[in-house]
Structure 1
């Protein structure tokens, strides 16, 4: 029997500043003879990782050595869908997760989706550990712990920055957290690629034993309601909630069976990754498999939609409807003496028991489904991004960064970016991890690109105003200022 060819996938993870980008640059530069696609995912307001990866100017581009590099600006599945179209040109895929990510939901993509499972096979989860700074996070960061626990291979990086005794202590700690993973040591993420690529190390059964919840699919929405609509106008009414907007997708169903709803769920995961259209109050949503973002501008607001035909529909919402006191109504006027069809005491999220906006035209769902919440980052960790085209004074930049390292180094997990230095034709790349810092000239600014600064700070107790003001003081006078 012929075995169907699948493209092997490696998930590369590791806490902020561990050396993931360094390893990726090695992979993209080395003449290994493989056509590898690299997918990056960032945590932060300003995306700079694609600037730090060699030549990564486009969302998908081919390197001189045959590699393809992708920067995830939407959802992983959307990018993988694109790569499937050029499957015959690929030998391998590497997914670099954000340093603040649990790798499990990323890995999950390759067994919960039938199409993905037929095209790709998860080869291994590789975790890079910063031997110098991991002790600052290993006992109090769930993300750091999850990355180590779920690894098939662990690369202890930056071993030149610690003593033999410190390294031995760290090895013992890591083995107590994950005794099954292969352990390698490196300086500057220098490792034989044959040790981490195409090694067939991922074992789903072992991961399930470690965390049975890994089989529960994570989706970008929390609620779905199944409705029987006519070809007429309907309203969505809600009050303000925890967020200034809520994403909504409406999908027509052939019937209201579980099989049909499951198909709609899988397609909606992809729709949620597509570009959204902002919908202001009193405007119409697109009721045909489109990504709508409802903007919440007041205490109460109404939005409209009209199904294209009579039938069953699934409405998927980013958050639970009870968080916004959301209700669905028919726009047809009804007699005040007539109780609207379908209204009754129930345990529905949308019910008369918890409505704050009374209505006689209320439409209740035939059934409701709640989904597991997507993984969230540690709320104590945040990012501050700065983008500006002004030229900077190199001496003032040095003074500012030196002050940050001295006064805020323990709180800044990661800083990285591109600098536009006054009087210099070259970009300056800087990267820092806690109190370690490196900056150097990169390449010349191209004639067709804007000279600009892109900085990202990730850590705890970050003061946005303080960071922005510090940056402003580095700007050369008579240059455009930050707005």
Structure 2
């Protein structure tokens, strides 16, 4: 179980999305806009799908390049953990100044291993706070990309926020169909249309999607819509139950499920109504890593209800639902 995030940590945003989705356009805007933020951007590829060459000077020996607006850009030629520790050391020593980090993954990357870095390495976990995973989806080619590429589906499954680019190039009904599909794959990710990367910084940073005490948001449309058009391997389901749960049973059951299906569980999160517990119990996980902590007290008159969201590949929904029902006190 991971402890709740403490103050003083450096927030990190993971920016992902398939090749050509518009990650670089968004990143270039962040790197050049006068937003007053000191951001260290970790780029893990250069060239056509990396940051534009007219912005970055490609010096093979240079690892950290400072932008004219105070942002930093780092090239990753090795382990992400080493880069993060190096940045932290230079920040402490006054060599570089930054307040937060954005990591841009390659278009073909599954963001899961990057996210796990912030929980598995003790030094990284001690210094950094994983804020959120932002996924950019190309409205023009999104359906085809999701049909053909596992990585694109995984990127959607991991997302805390989905930015839809190029919506001006397709009809409104096509965009709606894509948004419905994305919602069926990941009902907890807020969706927003963006034009040429023009997304307010406030909608990309400090989302706290990985904060255990953050509110669990599930799209209301997900619970009322029918989603049968696409047989995606990345699927999601929401489990709700007003009956109080037995804490020991729920811990045992979830541990067993993570042990057996963790590799296929992309994201899972819940607010639990535990018997004789005045506070909400919050839990979430990525693959095999699961964390839990007491949240805010249940307010007087508030409906006590457990709400859990599971997003994964080929997860046995019936088994999960039957097991969770067994955990009722």
- TM (norm. structure 2) is 0.60
Matched, 1:41 2:44: yes
Matched, 1:190 2:198: yes
TM-aligned CA distance change 1:142 to 1:53, over 3 Å:
farther
Greater relative contact order (Cα 8 A, min sep 6): structure 1 or 2? 2
Distance 1:203 1:90 in 2: 21
Matched, 1:54 2:127: no
Matched, 1:63 2:67: yes
Indicate which of 131, 138, 148 corresponds to 2:139.
Answer: 131
Aligned to 2:81: 77
Cα distance, 1:55 vs structure 2: 2.6
Alignment of 1:297-312 (within 5 A): none
Aligned to 2:300: none
Distance 1:185 1:53 in 2: 27
Cα distance, 1:59 vs structure 2: 2.0
Question: Which stretches of structure 1, 4 residues or more, deviate above 4 A after TM superposition?
Answer: 203-208, 210-213
Matched, 1:214 2:274: no
Indicate which of 80, 87, 90 corresponds to 1:86.
Answer: 90
CA offsets 1:132-159 (integer angstroms, 9 cap, x no match): 0112121231101010011000000111
Indicate which of 106, 109, 120 corresponds to 2:117.
Answer: 109
CA offsets 1:310-340 (integer angstroms, 9 cap, x no match): xxxxxxxxxxxxxxxxxxxxxxxxxxxxxxx
Cα distance, 1:61 vs structure 2: 1.4
Does structure 2 conserve the Cα–Cα contact (< 8 Å) formed by 1:110 and 1:121?
yes
- TM (norm. structure 1) is 0.41
TM-aligned CA distance change 1:84 to 1:95, over 3 Å:
same
Cα distance, 1:201 vs structure 2: 1.7
TM-aligned CA distance change 1:93 to 1:212, over 3 Å:
closer
Does structure 1 conserve the Cα–Cα contact (< 8 Å) formed by 2:17 and 2:152?
yes
Distance 1:97 1:73 in 2: 13
Aligned to 1:18: 21
Alignment of 1:222-371 (within 5 A): none
The structure with the largest helix share of the pair is 2
- Structure 1's unaligned 5+ residue stretches are 218-483
Distance 2:54 2:188 in 1: 31
Q: Count residues with an aligned counterpart.
A: 213
CA offsets 1:238-292 (integer angstroms, 9 cap, x no match): xxxxxxxxxxxxxxxxxxxxxxxxxxxxxxxxxxxxxxxxxxxxxxxxxxxxxxx
- Structure 2's unaligned 5+ residue stretches are 1-5, 217-265, 270-283, 291-329
Cα distance, 1:87 vs structure 2: 2.9
Cα distance, 1:4 vs structure 2: 4.8
